[in-house]
Amino acid sequence: MHLFKADEAVTIGGGQYLRAFSYDFMLVAFVFCFGGFFNGCGCTGFTMLCGILSSLAIRLPLSYVFTLLVPDNLSGIGASVPIASFFQIIIYALFMRSGRWKRMLSSQI
């Protein structure tokens, strides 16, 4: 952070954000694998809807709420990203368990 802006507040805020955001790197691997699997099965609409809802219904509102709750700390904004990915993984896992993706796959063959 210090490379881009030599301001101590920017460096501290960037560190707060990145520490909270860093958990998403572990979760996004599962999100991408599930998404790729369902896209390959022909469930592209479901995958797109899940990604859009994750961003618009979870990530953005959480970022806003965390900004109101803790206005002097960027950790909440950073934490909204892995929280949204976690919910996306749950939705994907439930869809996988439901078996509905198998019908989409069998209709392609």
In angstroms, rounded to a whole number, what is the distance separating the alpha carbons of residues 72 and 5?
Answer: 18
The structural domains of the chain, with segments of one domain joined by +, span 8-108
Share of the chain above pLDDT 90, in %: 70
Q: What global pTM score does this model have?
A: 0.86
Q: Is the pLDDT of residue 89 over 90?
A: yes
What pLDDT shows up at residue 5?
73
Q: Yes or no: say if 95 and 101 are a contact pair by the CB < 8 Å rule.
A: yes
Predicted confidence at residue 109, as pLDDT, reads 57
* Mean pLDDT of all residues in 14-39: 94
Q: How far apart are CA 102 and CA 98, in angstroms?
A: 9
Residue 75: is its pLDDT beyond 60? yes
Please give the pLDDT value at position 26. Answer: 95
- More confident site: 108 or 17: 17
Taking residue 45's Cβ as centre, other Cβ atoms within 10 Å add up to 11
